[in-house]
Amino acid sequence: MKIGNFEDIERIKERGLKKLKPEDRIRVSVGMATCGISVGGDAVFDAFRGMLGYRDDVILTRTGCIGFCHEEPLVNIYIPEKGILILHRVQPESVKDIVNNLDSVETLDSVLCQIDSWDHLVGGKIEYGNGFEGIPRWNELDFFKPQRKLVMRNAGIINPEDIDEYIAVGGYSALYRVLKGMTPDEVIDEVKKSGLRGRGGAGFPTGVKWELAKNEQSDVKYVICNADEGDPGAYMNRNEMESDPHSVIEGMIIGGYAIGAHKGIIYIRAEYPLALYRLQKAINEAKSYGLLGKNILGSDFDFEITISKGAGAFVCGEETALIASIEGETGRPRPRPPYPAQKGLWGKPTNINNVETWTNIPLIIKKGGEWFRQFGNEKSPGTKVFSLVGKVENVGLVEVELGTPIRTVVYDIGGGAPKGRKVKAVQTGGPSGGCIPAKFFDLPIDYENLTKVGSIMGSGGMVVMDENTCMVDTARFFLDFSVDESCGKCVPCREGLKQMLTMLQGISSGEGARSDLETLSELSETIKTTSLCGLGQTAPNPVLTTLKYFKEEYIEHVDKKRCRAGICEDLVYAPCHNSCPLGQDAPSYIAYIAHGEFDRSLEVIMRTNPFPGILGRVCDHPCELHCRAGEGGDPISIRALKRFAADRGAMPHIKIETEKDKRVAIVGSGPAGLSAAYFLRLKGYGVDIFESEDKPGGMLRIIPDYRLPKDVLDREIKRIEGFGVNIKYGIKVGEDKTIHELFNEGYDALFLGVGFRNGAKLNIPGEEAEGVFDGISFLKRVAKGEKLDLGENIYVVGGGNVAIDAARTAWRIAENANVNIVYRRTRREMPAIGGEVEDALFEWINIEFLTNPVKIITENGRVKAVEWVKMKLGEIDESGRPRPIPIEGSEFVTPVDTLIVCVGQTPDLSFAKGVEGLNLAGNTVSVDLDTMATSLKGVFAGGDIVTGPSTVVRAAAAGKTASESIDRYLKGGELKREFKVVFPSENVPLLKFSAEELKKLSLMGRVESPKVPLDRRRGSFVEVEKTLDVEAAIVEAKRCLRCDVKER
Amino acid sequence: MNAKEVQVYINGKTYGASEGEPLIGVARRNGIFIPSLCYEESLEPYGACRMCIVEIKNEGVKKRIVTSCTLHVFDGLSVETDSEEVLKHRKVLLELYLAQAPNSSKLKELALKYGVNRTRFRQKVRDNDPLNNSCVLCGLCVRVCSEVMGARVISFIGRGEKTRVNTPYFEQSELCLGCRACAEVCPTGAIEFRDDGGIRVAASWSNTKVELKKCNVCGKYYAPVKLDKRIDTLYYYRDKDGELRDMCPDCRRKAMTRKMTLIAENEVEKYAK
Amino acid sequence: MPPLFLILRGWLMDRQQIEEIIGKYKHPEGKILSILEDIQEVDRYLSKETLKVVSETLNIPLSKLFSIATFYSFFNLKPVGEHIITVCMGTACHVRGAAGLLNTLENLLKVSENGTTEDGKFFLTTEDKHFSLNTARCFGCCSMAPVVKVDEKIYGYVTVNDLPRILKEYGWKEDENR
């Protein structure tokens, strides 16, 4: 029946409302947009249908996607009087349970949130019920709180295949308003007033664009909806069409009226069959209600819409190419001018807008342009739907006001990167956009700002990248896409992009040169300036932005043949090996364990690791962070497996090369020095270590026993001594001997591994008082066996490994005290090893975040209390982390008996006193980081004294690099380091697994090391972590994906 | 058609033009050299080669570097054809061209004009390329065959940098007229035809063969048979009695001269009487 | 999905059937692409004969049709395998390791680069025509990246180890002498 007047609409509205809110019946709506279906939504729907088929007290329908794709399949259950409950991650198996508990659905585990009322904006607020007790409202969830649903006002609530429901929430009332009382000019004015900008990417003011087409004189005009959403990773438009197709149609009819067009065409990509189906259905429904066709709503305006399919060409998203495609040509863009508004489809004035732009129109007409302007900011009013994908916890469709900072979207809504990794950058605008580094995440998202940093808004794709994303590879990926999708008409795009891709592939495989970087820039400029259409003009953006913000990665690829993220195939043997500073061949040693050959495993380890027993216990395992099994699963327990091999395997026979008659002096027996000593000794050099203390190990010795038992430490160092390394104790270089004296004694080269042995100060009043320790001294004294009385209230300030060590040590010494760690930032920013922090929390150590000490209150020279201040997160600094800022007036005082300050370390620079020619950079020694050579001939340095406080493995790696440089130096050759891609060639054969075993391995979580139970830990320094037992180790080793095997 | 007369400035000098005509036409008309590969006056501007770029000097223009074939002149337009920016981009483009079509001597000549004698980029060389590794995909052959001759023998195949021009399925075509308009219009000399006795072979178009007409008088093969109708139509008004059919241009000229002379002599005679 | 018997019969639509499809489209906008897509839905690829029939019926030069068929990624110009495996190469999937999946599939199926057609489309078919392998730019299932589609079924969170199992569901046999 055709709608002619207001009463008709009201009647349908009533009917629709009864469907949305049935009076005495429960309504179950299953989320059935493509994202929901792809994770099993259709199976869930079928399960419900199977169970509910015979019942008439429950209605079963479909709905679209509310945006929380990560939690799909979602099911809405409307209970009369109460409201809607949204259930998440519903599986077909759990449907039975749900159906059997429909009268108490709110008690089910799978309830995510509730909707008691929902503002459909155009149709006003609908009260769905009085609500459920104790269940969070949808907009109280972190994911939805910062969002503002304008475009997605109906998505996930109404049935997209029923026009009555659309009308029930106010649908077509805007069209009614237009046809019953607005002139085309008035419509255009309203759109202009709203400031709406094209949501397809370019952001051209929509009202102005409409006006251009309106002013053209022609009997025939066209209005087109660009639904060729081609950006990979962007699927907002698809959802808009699948969840609320009528909003697009209504928008187009209004647009047609304003411009004077009677024909609308939706150009939709072929890869969207469901959207196409729903749009066509909606068109048919609208036609049957007289909302399309002749004399719409009884006016003298005719309008019809047809759908035109694309066929897999991204370039057809460009206006002139789109038009060519509709005309039955290949999708090659045409030069502009003339613009489509003047000469478009079939040569007639044509207005093209993106899907999302159209969905905004009914809203703007009904609520007014002024109303719209209250969202967003001045130059970019309104909202934008972004598809938040990639390395982010909460993948989904997010609608926020323009002007929202990136950090809100990535961290607050998205939840940051999974597995505690650091977010490195965000890519907006798809292949035409750019990568924005984390340090710019305070940037408000709008058209101008994104362009300013070199990116574009695009259609709204937002891909989050973490530290395991290689920016060179990312640029290459996008260029590959653009090369594939280029129409090929103009030379800069067709030939230029291809040449750029060739260069990037070369860089990615270690064959690039520095000159390539310049050529890439030059070529990018020409392609941007001279390309015929937007595809070519924007395709170089990913390269330009990554070159600008991540140049170090390019330089590493080119100069050092290194891909730090572990992605570029030709440069990476395996991500674990690639990220290990020592270059441990983890895939091989793990594979040997899987084969049961523990001795061979240890042999492989010791090729590049001087003390596996130590590193197997205390390493911060960058390998596990990059482990590919950790993508969508658990990373392999690589460190525990290394420890297993160290504890279980027999010491291999290690050959020392022919004895050389050169001698090297090593200053410091910490990890850097020990490592340099080990590798130099294996090369046959005479090695003497000068240690100022009476025991070896440096910082290793202050690591508490419960982490690194002293007998293990001594055993590992004894092994190194066993190769012929002499450690001379009690000699402090700089006081007892000078560097020059050492050379005079006949040493041919020197390695400085003196570390950062002292604790840094807070520099607040009262720090000199008794009971205040710096972390390093505290741990040293405990390691020496001193008995300390720490009192009842122990506070440790800091967030690094020293702080955790100090806290857990204090907890053991002072059995009845309460131990607290105070850190000025949040958990996410804590630099300590994740496992250590977890253990600290397990041991009931309290961690206060966002708190900082202000002053120490003393009595009789002893600490009595501390005044603290609460912090809040401020602007993001260079490191990409938000700076903590004190909150005024939030100071508070607590009683403190012992305060341990672990806020940093400082070096003892006495070794450099009076040494001419040894360049320092602040309080570190300057070296060439490739060779570890200092400015003094024959003197090398590595470890903390070069980098500042860092980790054991990095110090060991520095020692190893130095040993190679010293070797070259002593042989009289070129000191300069040659960078070559060399992969280990152990080639441990792959194990064959049965299908069940494979399934079990892929489903199981990771095997963790057994730990001493809590009650045995307090008051004791017994080693907390135990070695894996044989079975556990073999199973865990089998989980390894063997990324080292390229051909399978 | 009454188009307004306007003044434009090219490289500092003023020239007259019709409002809305493409700038490249104005320049060429006045002997100013702007290189181009895909521009053909009788066809709509195509915008593929990007060689005809110029820099707009007027204030407040967002896009300064534009192709002059799509730059519709307005009163007061001021451009520079060889500014620093234009030359910078033109040279890079030429390097891309040299890499794409390394075998074309015409391209090498053009490049030398701007001091480009080598390319940094990887050269695209295809074994047994029917277009002699000289094609720059300017589209002129396709457009001429389709829009001017109406034969539609060849088209673009594929997309992006894999695009090629040839007959469907790289098979011999029945539709080729043998007119050689494609080879004539090709800016890089990529298209090859071979006349082999009475058969014209379009070597570049999958060795499509076209029959040639033989001159009744001298026996030379002078034109494709398929163009018969069109040639004869040209001469129709002078050849109503079909005397000049099946003659090569040389013989036809001689025959026409004889005919005209005869007619003239008759007239003179008439007068004389 | 077209009825099974139409696929299994192994031969393509005849002129009458093609004309029927053409007749469905009354308005000129976008009709060529829709016609070709409808034909491909049944025949699974566009043969030379089919294109010739379309060319004659619609009075569009064959060169233009061929140009269109080779321009748009959607169209297959060579017969396809029984099962089509598509690896999503969208950004989200790429960032989660799709390239490795593609490599492994190429090795498992023993298809090589020689499968590309002269128009340069990436579409590899096994010798026994059992499987065809190609890529897509994005299915929009980014929440379950990386994604692999076999025929109409979508598999999410796919790792290299899952691939043999998935292929076996469609009758793939692991080769003994590898």
Average model confidence (pLDDT) for chain A?
93
CA–CA distance, A1030 with A1039 (Å, rounded to integer): 15
| Segment A530-551, tens digit of pLDDT | 999 999 999 999 999 999 999 9
pLDDT (0 to 100) of residue B217: 86
C39 and C90 together in one domain? no
Residues of chain B within CATH 3.30.70.20 domain(s) are 126-214
Query: pLDDT band at residue C172, thresholds of 50, 70 and 90?
Result: confident
For residue B62, the chain A residue with the least C-alpha distance is A529
Residue C175 pLDDT > 70: no
- Is C61 in Cβ contact with B170 (below 8 Å)? no
- Pick from A91-100, A241-250, A829-838 the range whose average pLDDT is largest: A241-250
C112 at A interface, C-beta within 8 A = no
Inside any domain, residue C177: no
C100 and C126 together in one domain? yes
Q: Nearest to residue A154, comparing CAs of A192, A191, A115?
A: A115
pLDDT (0 to 100) of residue C120: 60
Over residues C109-135, the mean pLDDT reads 73
C112 and C140 together in one domain? yes
Least confident interval from A209-223, A446-460, A988-1002:
A988-1002
Residues of chain B within CATH 3.10.20.740 domain(s) are 5-82
C89 and C66 together in one domain? no
Over residues A40-44, the mean pLDDT reads 90
Residue B233 pLDDT > 70: no
Write the CB contacts of A406 (distance below 8 Å, at least 6 apart in sequence). Answer: A426, A436, A440, A441, A442, A443, A445
CA–CA distance, A322 with A332 (Å, rounded to integer): 8
Least confident interval from A373-382, A987-996, A1009-1018:
A987-996
Residue A689 pLDDT > 90: yes
Cα angle, residue A251 at apex, residues A246 and A252 outer, rounded to 5°: 100
Inside any domain, residue C174: no
pLDDT (0 to 100) of residue B70: 93
Give the whole-number percent of chain B exceeding pLDDT 90: 71
Inside any domain, residue C77: no
C14 and C40 together in one domain? yes
Look at residues C43, C71, C99 and tell me which one is the last residue of a structural domain: C71
| Segment A97-149, tens digit of pLDDT | 999 998 888 899 899 999 999 999 998 999 999 989 999 999 999 999 999 99
CA–CA distance, A258 with A262 (Å, rounded to integer): 10
- Residues of B with Cβ-Cβ distance to C65 under 8 angstroms: 168
| Segment A136-193, tens digit of pLDDT | 999 999 999 999 999 999 999 999 999 999 999 999 999 999 999 999 999 999 999 9
C162 and C98 together in one domain? yes
ipTM at complex level: 0.92
Residues forming a β-bridge with A749: A664
The answer to whether the beta carbons of residues A640 and A1011 sit under 8 Å apart is no
What is the CATH code for B126-214?
Answer: 3.30.70.20
Average model confidence (pLDDT) for chain B?
90
Residue C177 pLDDT > 50: no
Give the whole-number percent of chain A exceeding pLDDT 90: 83
Two structure tokens written together for B71? 């730059």
Q: Nearest to residue A426, comparing CAs of A450, A446, A402?
A: A450
Query: What count of Cα atoms within 13 Å lies in the side-chain half-sphere of residue A44?
Result: 30
C25 and C52 together in one domain? yes
| A neighbour chains, 3+ CB pairs within 8 Å | B, C
Of C51, C67, C120, the CB nearest to B156: C67
Higher per-residue pLDDT: B215 or A260? A260
| Segment A884-917, tens digit of pLDDT | 999 999 999 999 999 999 999 999 999 988 888 8
Query: pLDDT band at residue A1008, thresholds of 50, 70 and 90?
Result: very high
Write the CB contacts of A276 (distance below 8 Å, at least 6 apart in sequence). Answer: A268, A307, A309
Higher per-residue pLDDT: C14 or A297? A297
**DSSP string covering C10-28:** -----HHHHHHHHHT--SS
C132: CATH: 3.40.30.10
Domain extent for C46:
4-71
Residue B1 pLDDT > 60: no
Average model confidence (pLDDT) for chain C?
81
Of A310, A390, A995, the CB nearest to C95: A390
Two structure tokens written together for C40? 């491909």
| Segment B255-266, tens digit of pLDDT | 888 878 888 888
| Segment B22-53, tens digit of pLDDT | 999 999 999 999 999 999 988 989 999 999 99
pLDDT (0 to 100) of residue A204: 94
Inside any domain, residue C60: yes
**DSSP string covering A142-204:** TTTTT---STTSSTTTS-TT-HHHHHHTTTTHHHHHHHHH--HHHHHHHHHHHT-B-TTTT--
Number of CB atoms found within 10 A of residue A515's CB: 11
CA–CA distance, C100 with C92 (Å, rounded to integer): 14
Look at residues C47, C71, C95 and tell me which one is the last residue of a structural domain: C71
Inside any domain, residue C90: yes
pLDDT (0 to 100) of residue B26: 94
pLDDT (0 to 100) of residue A815: 86
Q: In total, how many domains does chain C have? A: 2
- Is B168 in Cβ contact with C65 (below 8 Å)? yes
Over residues B137-158, the mean pLDDT reads 94
pLDDT (0 to 100) of residue C130: 86
Inside any domain, residue C176: no
Residue A997 pLDDT > 90: no
C72 at A interface, C-beta within 8 A = yes
What is the CATH code for B5-82?
Answer: 3.10.20.740
- Helical packing angle, A514-530 and A551-560, nearest 10°: 140
C67 and C90 together in one domain? no
Query: pLDDT band at residue B273, thresholds of 50, 70 and 90?
Result: low
C163 and C88 together in one domain? yes
| Segment C55-101, tens digit of pLDDT | 999 999 999 999 999 999 889 898 888 898 989 888 778 777 787 88
Higher per-residue pLDDT: A171 or A1048? A171
Over residues A457-486, the mean pLDDT reads 92
C60 and C119 together in one domain? no
- Is C28 in Cβ contact with A314 (below 8 Å)? no
Tell whether omega for the bond before A73 is within 30 degrees of 0, i.e. cis: yes
**Domains by residue range for chain A, with CATH:** 6-148 (3.40.30.10), 172-372 (3.40.50.11540), 383-568 (3.10.20.600), 575-653+990-1038 (no CATH), 663-757+907-970 (3.50.50.60), 758-905 (3.50.50.60)
pLDDT (0 to 100) of residue A19: 93
pLDDT (0 to 100) of residue C178: 33
pLDDT (0 to 100) of residue A998: 79
Q: At residue A159, what is the residue type?
A: N
| B neighbour chains, 3+ CB pairs within 8 Å | A, C
pLDDT (0 to 100) of residue A519: 95
- Smallest Cα distance from A502 to chain B, Å: 8
Residue A1031 pLDDT > 60: yes
Going from the C-alpha of B270 to that of each of A556, A755, B142, B211, B262, the distances in angstroms are 97, 123, 54, 45, 12
Report how many Cβ contacts below 8 Å link chain B to chain C: 44
**DSSP string covering A66-89:** -S-GGG-S-EEEEETTTEEEEE-S
CA–CA distance, A522 with B120 (Å, rounded to integer): 12
pLDDT (0 to 100) of residue B255: 83
Of B121, B137, B161, the CB nearest to A483: B161
Residue B236 pLDDT > 80: no
- Is C154 in Cβ contact with A38 (below 8 Å)? yes
- Is C66 in Cβ contact with B157 (below 8 Å)? yes
Two structure tokens written together for A97? 């349970």
CA B144 to the chain's CA centroid: 8
| Segment A593-632, tens digit of pLDDT | 999 999 999 999 999 999 999 999 999 999 999 998 887 7
Q: Which residues 118-177 on chain C approach chain A with CB closer than 8 angstroms?
A: 136-145, 147, 154, 156-157, 159-162, 164-165, 168
Buried b / exposed e over A145-162, threshold 16 CB at 10 Å, is ebbbbbbbbbbbbbbbbb
C29 and C94 together in one domain? no
C65 and C104 together in one domain? no
Going from the C-alpha of A452 to that of each of A434, A556, B199, the distances in angstroms are 11, 27, 62
Residue A935 pLDDT > 50: yes
pLDDT (0 to 100) of residue A5: 85
B152 at C interface, C-beta within 8 A = yes
Q: State whether residue A873 is helix, strand or coil.
A: strand
pLDDT (0 to 100) of residue C176: 45
Residue A995 pLDDT > 80: no
- Is A389 in Cβ contact with C145 (below 8 Å)? yes
Going from the C-alpha of A637 to that of each of A627, A1027, C101, the distances in angstroms are 10, 12, 24
Give the whole-number percent of chain A exceeding pLDDT 70: 100
Look at residues C71, C99, C123 and tell me which one is the last residue of a structural domain: C71
Pairing of the two strands A263-268 and A222-227 = parallel
- Is A631 in Cβ contact with C143 (below 8 Å)? no
